[in-house]
Amino acid sequence: MKTALVTGANRGIGLELVRQLKAKGFDLIAVCRESSAELDAESVRVESGIDVTSREDLAQLKGRLGETRLDLLVNNAGLLRSSSLAGIEDELDDWRAQFEVNSLAPIRVTSALGDNLASGSKVIVITSRMGSIADNTSGGHMAYRMSKAAVNAATVSLAHELKDRGIAVGLLHPGYVRTGMTGNTGHIDPDEAAAGLIERIEELSLDDSGSFHHANGEALPW
C-alpha cells in the first residue's frame, strides 16, 4: 500500500485530500497542529502537535515516522493574513508569518523528511496562482503573493535537486476554494478542489517536474 503525508490536514483542502487519498487506497499520515472531529472521524493516522514552522516539531515528526517510506508528500498547510501598503509597519509580524508558513515551511518539511522519500515518490507544494507575477492583474495581498512567489521559485530548485533521486515535484493551485482561509467564499468546495489536485498528482511525472498547474489542469504562468 502507498503512503501519503498531508500537512494542514485538520480542515479545509488538507482534510479533503486526506479523505480522497484514503478512498484511493493510500495509507494516510495526517499532520496538523491540532486534530479536529472531522479528521478523527476518518480513522487515519494523525500526527498532531506539529507546527510546520518549528524546527523541534519537524524533528519530532521525523522521529515519529522513522523509516516509513512516503510515496506522496503534500505540503498543504498555508496562511493568509491581510497585508496592505499603508499598514506594513503595523502588520509586519503577519507578513513574516506568511513567509514562514507559505515559503519556508514546505522546503523545511521536505528537507526534514527527505530520507523518507525514494525513487518514485512525489512531492507537492500547494501554492496559489496569487504567487504568479504574470497573472497579477489586480494587486493586493502583497505578503501572501510574495510568499507564494517565493515558494514557487524554491520549489523549481527543489525539483532540480530531487530529480536525480527519481522524485517528481509539483506546484499546484487548488482553485478559489470555500474554506476558512477565504471566509468560505470561492468558486468551488474543497471536495472539487481535492479531486482536481489528485488528478494532477497522478499525472505528475519526472518529465514535468517543477511545473505549475491549476487543479483544473491549466498550466499557470510564472
Ligand X SMILES: NC(=O)c1ccc[n+]([C@@H]2O[C@H](COP(=O)([O-])OP(=O)(O)OC[C@H]3O[C@@H](n4cnc5c(N)ncnc54)[C@H](OP(=O)(O)O)[C@@H]3O)[C@@H](O)[C@H]2O)c1
The binder of ligand X chosen from 4, 14, 103, 220 (CB under 6 A): 14
Work out whether 213 is an interface residue with ligand X (CB under 6 A). no
Stretch of 4-12, 62-70, 110-118, 208-216 contacting ligand X, by CB under 6 A: 4-12
CA angle 83, 89, 95 (to 5 degrees): 40
Interface mask toward ligand X for 60-89; x: CB under 6 A: ----------------xxxx----------
125, 103 contact by CB (below 8 A): no
Minimum separation from the CB atom of position 203 to ligand X (A) = 19
Angle at 178 between CA 177 and CA 181, to 5 degrees: 90
Rule CB under 6 A: say whether 186 interacts with ligand X. Answer: yes
Buried b (16+ CB within 10 A) or exposed e, 114-128: bebbeeebbbbbbbb
Choose between 47 and 209: whose C-beta lies nearer to ligand X. 47
Is residue 33 within 8 A of residue 51, CB to CB? The reply is yes
Among 4, 5, 101, 124, binds ligand X (CB under 6 A): 101
Distance CA 131, CA 221 (A): 10
Give 188's strand partners: 177
CB nearer ligand X, residue 35 or residue 206:
35
Size of the site for ligand X (CB under 6 A): 28
The answer to the question of residue 106 lying near ligand X (CB under 6 A) is no
Helix (H, G, I), strand (E, B) or coil at 20: helix
Tell me how far apart the alpha carbons of residues 30 and 46 are, in angstroms, rounded to a whole number.
Answer: 5
Pairing of strands 27-31, 45-47: parallel
Q: Is 202 in the site for ligand X (CB under 6 A)?
A: no
Give the residue with the Cβ less far from ligand X, 28 or 181: 181
Binding mask 155-174 for ligand X (x = CB under 6 A): ------------------xx
CA-to-CA distance for 166 and 159, rounded, in angstroms? Answer: 10
Sign of CA dihedral 14, 1, 172, 169: positive
Q: Which of residues 21-50 bind ligand X (CB under 6 A)?
A: 32-34
Site for ligand X in 117-146 (CB under 6 A): 126, 128
Which of 182, 184, 218, 222 binds ligand X (CB under 6 A)? It is 182
- Per CB under 6 A, residues contacting ligand X are 8, 10-14, 32-34, 51-53, 76-79, 101, 126, 128, 173-174, 176-177, 179-182, 186
